[in-house]
Amino acid sequence: MCLENCNKVLEDNLVAQCGRCGKCRSVCPVFKELRAEPYVARGKVQLYKALLNGTLEATERYRELISFCLLCGQCTENCPNGVETEKIVLRARNKLVDSRGLPFIKRNVFQHMLKNNGRLNRAAGMLYLFQRLGLRSLVRKTGLLPGPLKNMEQLLPAFAARPLRSQLPAVINPPGRVKIKVGYFTGCLSQYVFTETGKNVARILSRAGAQVLIPEQYCCGMPALTAGDRMNTAALARMNITAFQDAGVEVVITDCATCGSAWQNKYPELLGEELPFRAMDISQFLAQWGLPETFGLPQAPVPVTYHDPCHLARYMQVREEPRVLLRGISGVEFTEMREADRCCGASGSFQLEHQDVAARIGERKINSILATGARVVATGCPSCRLQLARLLQGIDADIAVVHPLDLVR
């Protein structure tokens, strides 16, 4: 009962912070595209407040409006009152899940897939085969999939033949003495899609003198959390923390901004306790421990720009480290883009539910990238990476999208 009361007071205070000044209208990427009050932070905060005080009910329209948030955090950064819209929207979504339950597909994925690596591996393997054996082009040509599923199928990344963790040993020792024991949290996208990035991360960590431990681990839980499923996220948090604690790590390293913010921000918040070890993005770690040697690009200087993932820049306050890293790589001609920390529009499942808006938000990012004349965009988030690569491919731009560490040879 007390917990419920405390929760209610906490929620009341979160929404009461909003003085309705409307300043978020100047920065919200969704509002910029849709130009109507329900889509801006102020609108969503007021909607949730109205739900809490009984003015509104949890209708389908309400659910839909609450889904129109990237959780990019730009409003909070610009808010004179520091209203935490991201937290408020997550609570609003959580309340919807509590009262209405999750949609069938999401419920099954969160409860049964994310906690079971065997099932995930088999699904990824099947997708790889689907994409490689010509089934994809067959399905696309014959139009077997109905409209919405067809669109979602096109958003699927190219899956790797073998998951990253099946290619790496559970313990990688450094060339010299062990300076630190790090746990590498691969995240689902380095595990199943960007396996080369994952190998780079492991290699560079060990060269930096770290013993790299890669225990059996699970999805970070953010896809479930952003859909409003706190319960399954908390369960995944516990499973992951235990896995790395048992491995005896001193610090957990992520190469994905979203996983990183799960570890740094969401796990302590959800579980109400501090992590038993530190968690850092790989760029933060290298800023502290230094690159093993100066490695450079093999070819002539290449103009490179950097896109700030929301989860790195605003959730983890990591802005400088990746830039320092990039500037330190010989052959990188670093060039800053306009609005480098503006959301690319991907935002996990946002792009699945709101493809058109996500693409329009992404277009602005693409224009920023094109204006720099860069040949390479580096970004520390695989989800941003997929979105940028797909959009650049769509306009036939010859620009590579990479993780900053992919440039370290």
Partner 1 sequence: MPLITQLGRIAGEHNVFSSREERFCYSYDGTFHFHLPDVVVKPQNAEQVARIIKLANDNGTPVFPRGAGTGLSGGSLPVRGGIAMVLIDMDCILEIDAANQVAVVEPGVITGQLQAAVEEQGLFYPPDPGSLEVCTIGGNIAECAGGPRGVKYGVTRDYVLGLELVTPTGDLIHTGGKTIKNVTGYDLTRLIVGSEGTLGIVTKALLRLIPQPKAIKTVLAVFDDLLQASEAILNVFHSGVTPATMEIMDAEAIKCVVEQAGARLPVDSEAILLIEVDGRPAAVEEEVTAVAEACLRYQARSVETAGTPEERNRLWQARRAVSPALVKLKPTKISEDATVPRAQVPAMIRRLQQIREKYDLKLVIFGHAGDGNLHPNIIADERDAGEMTRVEAAVGEIFQAALELGGTLSGEHGIGMMKAPYMQAEFGTRGLAYMRRIKRSLDPNNILNPGKIFPE
The binding site for partner 1 (CB under 8 A) comprises 12-13, 16-17, 19-23, 25-26, 35-38, 43, 46-47, 50, 55-56, 59, 61-62, 65, 80-82
Q: Compare residues 29 and 380 and give the one whose CB is closer to partner 1.
A: 29
CA 161 – CA 318 distance, rounded (Å): 32
CB neighbour class for 226 (10 Å; exposed up to 12, middle 13-18, buried from 19) = buried
Q: How far is the CB of 48 from partner 1 (least distance, A)?
A: 11
How near is the Cβ of 36 to partner 1 at its closest, in Å?
7
For the bound state, the minimum distance from the C-beta of residue 51 to partner 1, rounded and expressed in Å, comes to 9
What residue type is 7 in one-letter code?
Answer: N
Give the nearer residue to partner 1 in terms of CB position, either 27 or 391. Answer: 27
Name the residue nearer to partner 1 (CB basis): 36 or 170: 36
First to last CA, the chain: 56
Closest approach, Cβ 21 to partner 1, in A, equals 5
- Among the listed residues 333, 336, 359, the one whose alpha carbon sits nearest the alpha carbon of residue 346: 359
Residue 87: CB partners within 8 Å, gap ≥ 6?
14
Q: Which is nearer to partner 1, 46 or 191 (CB)?
A: 46
Give the number of other CB atoms < 10 A from CB of residue 209: 17
If the CB atoms of residues 50 and 352 are measured against partner 1, the closer one turns out to be 50
Q: What is the DSSP annotation of 190-223?
A: HHHT-HHHHHHHHHHHHHTTEEEE-------SHH
**Distance in Å, CB of 230 to partner 1, minimum:** 23
| Closest CB 306 distance from partner 1, rounded Å | 24
Pick from 272, 317, 189: nearest CA to 3 = 272
Task: Please state the closest distance from residue 38 (CB atom) to partner 1, in A.
Answer: 4
Please list, residue by residue across 311-324, b when 16 or more beta carbons sit within 10 angstroms of its beta carbon and e when fewer do. Answer: bbbbbbebeebbbe
What angle is formed at CA 322 by the lines to CA 318 and CA 324, rounded to 5 degrees? 115
Q: Which residue lies nearer to partner 1 by CB, 26 or 242? A: 26
Query: Smaller CB distance to partner 1: residue 76 or 379?
Result: 76
